[in-house]
């Protein structure tokens, strides 16, 4: 049976991921259509990554301040829930807009640019563990 903290952590992670996904959708569109054609994919991802991680930090902090602090296990669960939610949302989006669909998106993780993006998603998932607003 899930504890109250577990349910709160999963809900927090899902809301956090959804909010950041929406911001990332906007930034990703700008990256793909405006920045990447001028700088190349790698430079565009390197420009976008600190921006989306900064947004992630602010979004998580805002959400975490609205509820009681979580123990470290709860913060880890929130990060895991956020990561899984983000990946599912990205796979759904890839099914509609990425040539080759989700398989092509996942294959992209094995390129330098895709690996940097995946590392950014892992950092995004660790923000709930690191952020002082969620600590008890």
Verdict on whether the full-model pTM lies above 0.85: yes
Query: What percent of the chain clears pLDDT 90, i.e. is strictly above it?
Result: 90
The stretch 29-42 carries a mean pLDDT of 97
Q: What is the pLDDT of residues 96-112, one digit of tens each?
A: 999 999 999 999 999 99
pLDDT of 79 reads 98
Quick check: 75 and 135 in contact, CB under 8 A? yes
Average pLDDT of 23-41? 97
pLDDT score for 1: 41
Mean pLDDT of 54-70: 95
Mean pLDDT of 44-57: 98
3-class DSSP assignment, residue 3: coil
**Sequence spans of domains, the chain:** 4-134
Neighbours of 30 (CB within 10 A): 15
CA distance 124 to 34: 24
pLDDT of residue 134: 84
Q: Return mean pLDDT, the chain.
A: 95
CA dist., res. 75 & res. 34, Å (int): 36
- CA dist 136 and 133 (Å) reads 8
């Amino acid at each position: 049976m899930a504890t109250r903290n577990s349910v709160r952590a999963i809900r927090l992670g899902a809301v956090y991921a959804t909010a950041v996904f929406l911001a990332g959708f906007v930034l990703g569109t700008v990256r793909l259509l405006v920045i990447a054609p001028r700088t190349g994919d790698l430079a565009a991802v390197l420009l976008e990554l600190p921006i989306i991680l900064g947004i992630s930090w602010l979004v998580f902090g805002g959400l975490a301040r609205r509820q009681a602090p979580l123990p470290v296990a709860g913060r880890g669960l929130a990060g895991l829930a956020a990561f899984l939610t983000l990946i599912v949302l990205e796979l759904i989006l890839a099914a509609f807009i990425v040539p080759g669909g989700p398989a092509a998106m996942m294959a992209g993780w094995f390129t330098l640019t895709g690996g940097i993006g995946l590392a950014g998603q892992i950092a995004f998932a660790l923000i709930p563990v690191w952020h002082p607003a969620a600590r008890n």
